[in-house]
Amino acid sequence: MDDGAVVRLDDGTLLVQTVDLFGPPVDDARDYGMIAAANAVSDVYAMGGEPRFALAILAVPADLDHDVAVRILQGGQELAASVGVAIVGGHTVTAPEPLYGLAVTGVVRPDALWTNAGGRPGDLLCLTKPLGTGIVCNALRKDLADAAVVAAAVASMAAPNRDAARALRPFAPHAVVDVTGFGLVGHLHAMARQSGCAAELDQAALPALPGALELLRAGAVPGGTRRNREAAAYLDAAAADPDLALLGCDAQTSGGLLAAVPAEADPALLPGPVVGRLAAGAAGAVRLA
């Protein structure tokens, strides 16, 4: 149930292998390429590794303007180069709608590997990016989001998780996962279940992108977010603001890292707010209050 596959070579080296691709969440082709690349390399950071090289995967309609395809690839190349990842090849096909992403290979030391299964009751839950990209991208499709709100969401999605992962390393996290399509609540549920713990979230601590809550309250909630909320039978949100429960279930694109760090960690030194903690209780149960 982890973000990437870990393969041990004969000499003991651990490779982290992952692949991710999706359709355009935003209008600008270069931004799309950067976001998709940041999302793909994030799985390696969530395993405690460093991405090294990647293969690009691009599907485009046969009649798509050539320059648009070039800008998608350029955006991915720029993001990959910024974190030291070489795009060494790839594959293109035609398809009804654009799809772009990377198959990424990284490396990790055996003593540095993170999984989502090592959390312990009492661990603090640190989240390194604000929530709401699903809501903002849906609002963009409906022409409901202003330029500043979209720009903030794009900047968040296109920011790689490298610095957050490196900042977490000194705290020796017990479990780490990156927050993507299943939302904060869904990914926390998986971490808690794999760790044999329950989890508690503080609704007042949930960070939101600028404008995201206002757009949520205006009805710009994507179908994926609603499905996440409906599927979360493990979530006790009876004492929570329903809007914040939806925000916690928002389907993220290129979200942040969620890390379970030892209880003695100083929250002021973590690379993101503490949004809750793991607790003793039914494995996978999540309470939001």
Whether residues 202 and 89 share a domain: the answer is no
Helical spans, DSSP H, in the chain: 29-46, 66-82, 133-141, 147-157, 162-168, 183-195, 212-217, 223-231, 242-248
The pLDDT, as a whole number, for residue 1 is: 73
Shared-domain flag, residues 105 and 158: no
Residue 211 — very low, low, confident or very high, per pLDDT cuts 50/70/90?
very high
Instruction: Tell me the C-alpha distance between 174 and 9, whole Å.
Output: 24
Question: What whole-number distance in Å separates Cα of residue 25 and Cα of residue 156?
Answer: 13
Report the candidate in 107, 105, 102 with the shortest Cα–Cα distance to residue 78. Answer: 102
- Residues whose CB is less than 8 angstroms from the CB of residue 11 and which lie 6 or more positions away in sequence, other chains included: none
Mean pLDDT, residues 252-257 taken together: 98
Domain boundary pick from 62, 90, 112: 112
Distance CA 76, CA 217 (A): 33
**What DSSP element (H or E) covers 15?**
strand 14-22
65 and 170 assigned to the same domain? no
- Give dist(CA 149, CA 25) in Å, integer: 14
| Domain presence at residue 163 | yes
User: What would the pLDDT profile of 130-187 be if each residue is shown by its tens digit?
Assistant: 999 999 999 999 999 999 999 999 999 999 999 999 999 999 999 999 999 999 999 9
* All residues at 6 or more sequence positions from 21 whose CB lies less than 8 Å from its CB, including other chains: 36, 40, 57, 59, 99, 100, 101, 102
- CA-to-CA distance for 216 and 222, rounded, in angstroms? 9
C-alpha dihedral sign at 24, 146, 156, 85 = positive
CA–CA dist 150, 152 (Å, integer): 5
Around Cβ 205, how many Cβ atoms within 10 Å? 13
Residue 280 falls in which region: left (phi positive, over 0), alpha (psi -120 to 50) or beta: beta
Domain that holds residue 186: 124-288
In a domain, 119, yes or no: no
Q: Looking at the structure, tell me whether residues 90 and 130 fall in a common domain.
A: no
The pLDDT-based confidence of 3 (bands split at 50, 70, 90) is confident
In this structure, the answer to whether residues 66 and 39 fall within a common structural domain is yes
Sign of the CA dihedral running 186, 50, 122, 124? negative
Q: What is the pLDDT of residue 252?
A: 98
Point out the domain boundary residue: 48, 83, 112.
112
Please identify, among 62, 79, 112, the residue that sits at the C-terminal boundary of a domain. Answer: 112
Those residues whose C-beta lies under 8 Å from the C-beta of residue 265, and which sit 6 or more positions away, are 124, 126, 171
Residue 66 lies in a domain: yes
The pTM assigned to this predicted structure is 0.96
In this structure, are 60 and 128 located in the same domain?
no
pLDDT category at 221 given cuts 50, 70, 90 is: very high
**Nearest alpha carbon to residue 224 among 133, 152, 157:** 133
pLDDT at 2 over 90: no
Question: Residue 16 above 90 pLDDT?
Answer: yes
Which of 252, 258, 275 has its CA nearest to residue 135?
252
- The answer to whether residue 100 is domain-embedded is yes
Domain at 38, CATH number: 3.30.1330.10
CATH of the domain at 254: 3.90.650.10
What is the count of structural domains for the chain?
Answer: 2
228-251 pLDDT tens trace: 999 999 999 999 999 999 999 999
d(CA 14, CA 24): 32
264 and 162 in a common domain: yes
pLDDT at 102: 98
pLDDT, tens digit, 9 for 90 and up, residues 53-112: 999 999 999 999 999 999 999 999 999 999 999 999 999 999 999 999 999 999 999 999
